[in-house]
A and B are shown apart, each in its own frame.
Chain A
Amino acid sequence: MAATKHTLVALVEDRPGVLNRVASLFRRRGFNIQSITVGHSETPGISRMTIVADGTNTSVEQVRKQLDKLVETIKVSDITAEDRVERELALIKVKSTSANRGEIIQIVDIFRANIVDVSLDSLTVEVTGDENKMNSLLSLLQGFGVKEVCRTGKIAMTRGFNSADHPRRVATPEE
């Protein structure tokens, strides 16, 4: 089966070592992570991870189940097949001179990106969007000389009312 790109959303407890557990599991099962982002969720004490990884449907399902077995994992969903909003943020430092600064600013405007820093010989661009937008802007700017790129990795959310499941804190009865 051909490997495809999968987007997983995991809700995990916000505790030391949890990221390590998740990353370790991906390594052990021979999974290549393209990007992983972690931040707070709507519930205090719960972090949300967006993981983009390559794999066949079967192997991704296996990793999802293994992730779900971690005690500190609350919910893992593979949202690859779902209608969803995806965003990524990048900072791009471009070489510029007084001669081409205007041209760069025009390109940045077309992409609805922002200039967040300027010096005599550089511009720093902040851009938000999906992967295609990132890549197109980046390839256009490469012509001027890109000094530095910093990308956050993708975050994703399903469209509509459905959510990645609200964690419910319930007591587990002893036996």
Chain B
Amino acid sequence: MKMTGGQIVCDCLVKEGVDTIYGILGGAILPLYDTLPQFPQLHHVLVRHEQCAAHAAEGYARATGKVGVCFATSGPGATNLVTGIANAYLDSTAMVAITGQVARRFIGKDAFQEIDITGITLPITKHNYLVRDTNQLAKIMKEAFYIARTGRPGPVLIDIPKDVFTEQVDYHTPGKVELPNFKPTTKGHPAQIQKAAKLINEAQKPVIIAGRGVIISEASTELKELAEKGQIPVVTTLLGISSFPESHVLSYRWIGMHGMGYANMAVNNADLVIAIGMRFDDRATAEVSGFASHAKIIHIDIDPAEIGKNVPVEVPIVGDVKTVLGPLTKLVQPSQRGEWLKQLDDWRREHPSTEIRETSSLLPQYVINQIYQNTHGNATIVTGVGQQQMWAAQHYTYDHPNTFISSGGLGTMGFGLPAAVGVKMGRPESAVWLIDGDGSFQMTLHELATIQQEKLAVKIAIMNNGFLGMVRQWQELFHGKRYVATPLWGPDFIKLAEAYGIAGVKVRRKDEVIPAIQQAMAYDGPFVIDFGIEPEENVYPMVPPGASLSQFLEMPKKEAALWPQRNTL
């Protein structure tokens, strides 16, 4: 069958099960957009900046488990995608980004809006393609989706010259994907699984650290079976939050720089760490030389390059978490471990980590806790990056898998609003709350237009403290309280929402919090709440840079100011 390149792209997208695309068009990609009306199955969402096309595609992918798709034109359209692609790369999200490129005869001539986007995205994609031959297009599309979602997921970029979109070629549905070296190991090696089970059965003080791999692999049930059978306490990484129900008796919530003190203590006092689908990020391990120094480590991950990258490992198991956990649990003996669990409970009592201090002013911790109470923990929470992200992770209790969607690896301020667009479109039936900061929100607030245009009932809670708060906290604690460039002027967010046709309410007092949350929930459509919070509230617990995981500072003590100056990371 004769088809144009543009039709081939659309037909391949439909065959891959794509229904939603985020993007902005321009000259080079115009012929592709011109064919979109011939494929009514594909719903294109026009965003206001290409970075947000990638974030929205990521939100959609993370909410649905499908591959996210975004479009951008050549030159600035493509370079604007870069931050969003990098975010997906570091958080292992399956994504296919399609960029228009100048026509083939102009490539290498510095033509108008020509940029080498495959060169630029080389280190932040799993793989990328520049399509030089229209006959290869269908094969490349199929490979791209296969690579993006297979093994450890990640972004793949396809750069397509304008004249490839318009050229007509014979189109055959491509056959099997043929990639000689791309065969991720999914099944764990039986001998390694046996070794791991032996270590688990011998351990007195084991702890499981669950990461985002558990969510990607949809292995929450398997994780619960392992934990319950062996009576092994579970902590998670930041992106592992919600992989294990936080109300579960074996949950000690999450570890890291702003993780629970008792969770950090559990890891640093354990004799065995079972790391599942996580990658020992420095924000999770704190000073790596002091990390779990009494423990042997079992590391289960689908990416062999993660084994031994940051932390030496006793028993590595390369494989898909879901596939590995079943056979492992079978070999684990039922145990009690009452003493160890009691110790953990004592630490939790001594270091509650999420207590909210008594004050008449409006505290973000209180606000987020009220969002949790009023939504009965049934919402999906999307966050920006900064203090609000940490408070959202601490003061909401996550009991349902994959209900915390946040930018972990890249820490991209401005991720929240566009990601919430994708999350809400992926989960139209569930309540989606964006918890953002005034700084983070102002980076991508133009996506209010997309929210209004697509009629998405996202509830937006802005923790407005007039500061780039997380950096201000570092300045307060480690830079002699010199607030350089962190005080932040902001607009009247409610008037701003109104300009976009979106309803909202300002909250300045504690007694206004619950009515505002209930008003937002009852309102049929998007709703913004501007919470004017205590300006200099800090996030605690905090492991200062250079300290080990169990050397955390606790709220509301300000002894952090006395912490010696260290090299900060």
Contact = CB atoms under 8 A, between A and B. Distances in A.
Interface of A: 13, 17, 20-21, 24-25, 28, 58, 61-62, 65-66, 68-75, 167-174
Contacts of B176: 171-174
Contacts of B126: 71
Interface size class of B (residues with CB under 8 A): 20 to 34
B123 A24 contact: yes
A172 B304 contact: no
A58 B309 CA distance: 8
Given A58-B308, A61-B308, A68 B181 contact: yes
A70 B179 CA distance: 11
B24 interface: no
B127 A71 contact: yes
B146 interface: yes
B179 A71 contact: yes
11 contacts: A20-B119, A65-B305, A68-B304, A70-B127, A71-B147, A72-B181, A74-B181, A168-B180, A172-B146, A172-B178, A174-B146
A158 to B, nearest CB: 20
B58 to A, nearest CB: 21
Question: Chain B at the A interface: mostly helix, strand, loop or mixed?
Answer: loop
Interface in B112-165: 118-119, 122-123, 126-127, 130, 146-147
Contacts of A61: 308
Contacts of B304: 65, 68
Nearest to B147: A71
Nearest to A17: B118
Which 4 interchain pairs have the tightest Cβ spacing?
Answer: A65-B305, A71-B127, A171-B176, A74-B181
A172 B183 contact: yes
Interface string B290-312: 00000000000001110111000
Contacts of B123: 24-25, 28
Contacts of B119: 20
Given A24-B122, A69-B303, A71-B147, A62 B180 contact: no
A175 B332 CA distance: 29
Contacts of B178: 169, 171-172
A22 to B, nearest CB: 11
Contacts of A65: 304-305, 307
Contacts of B111: none
Nearest to A171: B176
Nearest to B305: A65
B563 interface: no
A169 B180 contact: yes
B523 interface: no
A66 B182 contact: no
B177 interface: yes
A174 B177 contact: yes
A73 B181 contact: yes
A124 B465 CA distance: 74
B146, B183, B309 interface centre (most CB from chain A within 10 Å): B309
A70 B119 CA distance: 15
